[in-house]
Structure 1
Amino acid sequence: MEHKRDIEKRIEGKVEYYVTKIFKVVIMAILFIALFLLANYVLMRLWNWLMPELFGLATVTYWQALGILVLAKLIFGFGGGDSGGKSKRKKRRKSSHECGSLRRDFAEWKHYDQFWKEEGEEAYKAYVERIKNADHGTRQEE
């Protein structure tokens, strides 16, 4: 008897799991369709608001807007980009390791303001003078 109850509980748990999964999939499909239809409506409203006034084009119906949306998706793609999620993660991980030697300790920047107050402005003026003198020297040679 104990074994039967165990089996019934497992089957009950699996049925409940699959029913909730199916319910979630159905809800997601309905939500996707609703968002698609809403996007189509927004496209129609934007077209009818902008295009006739800006370019002298005719207004479109809801179904014509759907055709424009599908045509644009076929021409410009569906925005999927990279097909594999793993490759994006690998690229991100690889690039973070590659530039490890180029990274600096930004804690040193806390001294920047003090340096600029004490030496920076004078050093900059001296640099500009050197450039002027070097530039002036090359002009005299010509």
Structure 2
Amino acid sequence: MEHKQEFERVVEKKVEHTVKKVVKIIAFVILGIIVFLLANYLLMRLWNWIMPEVFGLGTVTYWQALGIFVLAKLLFGFGGGSGKSKGKSDHKKRIQHNKKCTPWRRDFDEWKHYDQFWQEEGEQAFKNFVDNIKNENHDKEQ
């Protein structure tokens, strides 16, 4: 009996969450449509207020203003910015990041010679180093 009630509560919460999401989505779609229509109305009013006096053009209807609005969006973009400018800023960031790391990279590039050094000089140099340490420790003990 408890399991059934718990299951019902879980399902009820999921349904409630889903309904809230759907209502929010519908509200945002309606709000977007209203904003779009108001922007179009504003464009029509501004056109009819400015263009006939300044350029001698005729007035436009609401639907003509909608056409001008859509045409302007197609020609000049939708305001989200283009991927090219974003790519340039990413490129600049990479260049700046590379400038910060160049000393480290230069040091890292020198490590490619490590194996050759170890074969030629390193093993003997390490043995000399260990002998020096042993001699210093031996001298300190006496």
Fold shared, TM-score > 0.5 on shorter chain: yes
TM-score (ref. length: structure 1): 0.59
Q: Which residue does the alignment assign to 2:68? A: 68
Q: Which residue in the other structure is 2:51 paired with?
A: 51
- Number of equivalent positions: 97
| Normalised TM-score (structure 2) | 0.59
The aligned counterpart of 1:23 is 23
2:9 matched residue in structure 1: 9
- Structure 1 stretches lacking a partner, 5+ long: 102-142
Cα deviation for residue 82 of structure 1 reads 4.8
- The answer for unaligned runs of 5 or more in structure 2 is 101-142
Q: Counterparts of 2:6 and 2:53 in 1: how far apart (Å)?
A: 71
Aligned partners of 2:43 and 2:16: how far apart in 1?
Answer: 40
Of all paired residues, the percent bearing the same amino acid is 60
CA distance, structure 2, for counterparts of residue 100 and residue 81 of structure 1:
28
Alignment of 1:1-142 (within 5 A): 1-82=1-82, 91=90, 94=93, 98=97
Distance in structure 1 (CA, Å) of the matches to 2:2 and 2:99: 60
1:79 to partner: Cα distance: 1.4
| Residue 98 (structure 1) shift | 3.8
Moved over 4 A (4+): none
Greater fraction helix: 2
RMSD: 2.6
Partner of 2:120: none
Counterpart of 1:60, as a letter, is V
